[in-house]
Chain A
Amino acid sequence: MEKIKRVNFISLLFIAIMVTIAPAAAGNETDEQAPGRTMAQQATKEKKMWITADHSKFETLNKQFDSGPEITNACLSCHSEAENQFHKTIHWTWTAGSDLDGAIIGKAGHSLNNFCISGNMMNDKGCMSCHPGWGKSTESINCLTCHSQKDMKWEESFEDFQAFSGSDDPEEQAIANEIQGEILEAVHDIARPTRKNCGSCHFYGGGGDGVKHGDLDSSMTNPNKTLDVHMGVDGQNFNCTRCHTTTLHNIAGRIYTQPAATERKSLVDDDLTSKITCESCHTATPHKQGNKANDHTDKVACQSCHIPDMARINPTKMSWDWAQSGKLNEEGKPYKTKDEFGKHDYMSIKGQMKWEKNVKPEYFWFNGSIAGLSAKDSIDPSGVVKLSHPVGNFDDPGSRIFPFKVHHGNQPYDKINKTLLAPLLSGPDGYWTHLDWVKALTTGNEMIGVPFSGEFDFVKTTYVFPTTHMVTPKENVVNCTECHTGTNSRLADIAGVYMPARDNFKILDTLGWLVILGSFIGVALHGIGRMIAGTNGRKGK
């Protein structure tokens, strides 16, 4: 008997050890880093990009420049193909082909958003501050927008220079020389585009810091690692072009309906592949072997877990109600108010706006394309109009669950033609000058060649931005239970897939727990019965 008992104890011990050790042994908890990180480190090992030219030493760049195009000509005297290349890119054309109805896609075409709504086919000169030419002109490219490391207000600088250099006053001449010196400094300080260059437009889209993108604003000029693990100045210090790889001045990235990458492959598969996707460097199974997260990468984009929230430093605009615009103060003048972030939440010329920080993204199936409406598309004004919306679904192997900033708008539409309208905003004929909707809408729609009946109202719209920057360190990633939960799941609205803990079969769960409850009640009653009967099995004490 003694021996048997001991053997039994040993076997029980064995069970306990086996079951507790099995997962740990298989998981192999060592300090080794995840393979995806190793891959990425190898891909970016040779990150020092060296340059063989010092632009301050070139003769062509050491003369007096009276205008912007003169600088461009100097650039092109060596970089002979640069302008040809650049003229074909979306950065210059602001268009990306036509859709089926013949509407031109792009901000220089018929595309609309729910911020300043339309660029009126380049006729709204207010939008031109971001066009990479000289001032409002679309004749010559401005190489320095992207390549000079010095901040310049070019239009102002040349205006001032012209004004002072013609003067006989030696003091004004001195000022002119000083301005020319600044111009030359900017011309000499040439580099591949840095975060500041790209950010000078992309951080300020929509007319201000962080208006459009929730994941791109001035905080990303010099972010720390916590804000962005790749671009953090205390870490990898990536420039935008590290991932937005460039061919003939064409910069990889999403272009309206066209995905940033049509194929998902890594440098392991193809050493010349674009580095635009996370997978390019990190591969499709970046986590440690056996980590459940590797099983998610076929359906969940890296961004969904690794960017828990956006606008972490600066606020981003979440809604814009144009219908509230046009109010005047007691003195009968347009006015502005500010919110707790110091951002304008009301402007007579723009309407009511809402800003938010630490914004949790919304999630949609996304195959890389975004379907957008143009000024030519008819809408159903009875509901919220999806002005732009991600394309994708569960069954599409190219689709992933992807995080988005959704911007809510309330903007004018044509009550008769059932189309969204494109008001002209800036300039003497623009809404911002006269606050007359009918006038602004008539002029604006004329500019894009789309009829306006004269009758308008406002309709609620949504516009989406994929969230892909502000990748957080791994300590801060989204937890399993933020999605795998029945209450307030981040993926509450994601259809097409059963998710443990988020989903259940109501009838089965109800029935199941009833059976369990029934079992307990059954044995309890049986046991009570035995106690009352005073019998315990066949012995009958």
Chain B
Amino acid sequence: MTSKKTTNIYLYTRYERFWHWLQMFLILLLLVTGFEVHGAYTFMGFETAVTVHNYTGLAWLIAFAFFVFWVFTTGEWRQYLPTTRKMFSVIRYYAFGIFRGEPHPVPKSKDAKHNPLQRIVYLLLAVTLLPVQMLSGLLYWGYNSWADWGIGWLSLNVVVFVHMAAAFSILSFLIVHVYMTTTGHSVTAHVKAMITGWEDVEEGAMVEAWEQKIRK
């Protein structure tokens, strides 16, 4: 196994990093308070948990609106376009290759931050799981106004079911996601990159044309 030379590239902009850590903080807070409201444990007290959960949820909605604005105005949305190319090799890498010390089949670059697996997972998060959670949360929060909003026919049970199912899904994602940060060329490499913006990549790694963000 030959060790290649690495080079430092600036991968994550300031806003992107800010958004990442903000959403980590908010999601963590929502999970902790949300599961307390669900009755899973007692931590900060039911009443406090409800209050914190509600305000954090509203803060999240505002923050997400900024993210949507950013992702479209900067064209970064293209980074989330799904692809099946090399998807199998990425899956194969995480299932086998990683244990053999093989190189990652899709190295990171400024214009291709996400490998095909990340693209599909993050896309599903951003367009399905998170919006579903936001909508069901907002409805849950506004339960008392349903009649005024003309949705008095809605069932609280359905809203709660969806909100809880999505909560479990997000927690599951979080566990795997945090673990995956340790799979860089060092255990902390990815985390460091998300803090400083600079990621070490192997020199001369080829970024294929299809992976690159199309610039106009």
Contact = CB atoms under 8 A, between A and B. Distances in A.
Interface string A507-541: 01101110110111011001101100101111110
B59 A498 contact: no
Contacts of B103: 538
B66 interface: no
A1 interface: yes
Contacts of B56: 19, 22-23
Contacts of A11: 14, 17-18, 21
B7 interface: no
Interface residues of A, number: 55
B38 to A, nearest CB: 6
B100 A533 contact: yes
A515 B166 CA distance: 12
Interface residues of B, number: 60
Tell me what chain A mostly uses at the interface: helix, strand, loop, or mixed.
helix
B81 interface: no
Nearest 5 interchain pairs by C-beta: A540-B101, A501-B39, A512-B168, A523-B179, A23-B55
A529 B182 CA distance: 13
B67 to A, nearest CB: 14
Nearest to A526: B179
B172 A504 contact: no
26 contacts: A5-B195, A11-B14, A11-B17, A12-B21, A19-B25, A22-B55, A23-B51, A295-B143, A295-B144, A298-B144, A479-B46, A480-B46, A480-B47, A486-B39, A501-B39, A504-B38, A508-B161, A512-B168, A513-B168, A516-B168, A519-B172, A536-B185, A537-B101, A538-B101, A538-B202, A539-B101
A273 B172 CA distance: 55
B172 A515 contact: yes
B51 A537 contact: no
Contacts of B1: 540
Contacts of B151: none
A76 interface: no
A505 B157 CA distance: 9
A85 to B, nearest CB: 42
Contact of B176 (A27, A522, A540): A522
B136 to A, nearest CB: 13
B132 to A, nearest CB: 15
Interface string B173-191: 0011001001111110000
Interface string B15-58: 00110011001100100000001110010011100111011101
A539 B3 contact: yes
Given A522-B176, A523-B176, A538-B185, A530 B47 contact: no
A298 B144 CA distance: 8
Contacts of B179: 523, 526-527
Nearest to A520: B175
A53 interface: no
B156 interface: yes
B168 A539 contact: no
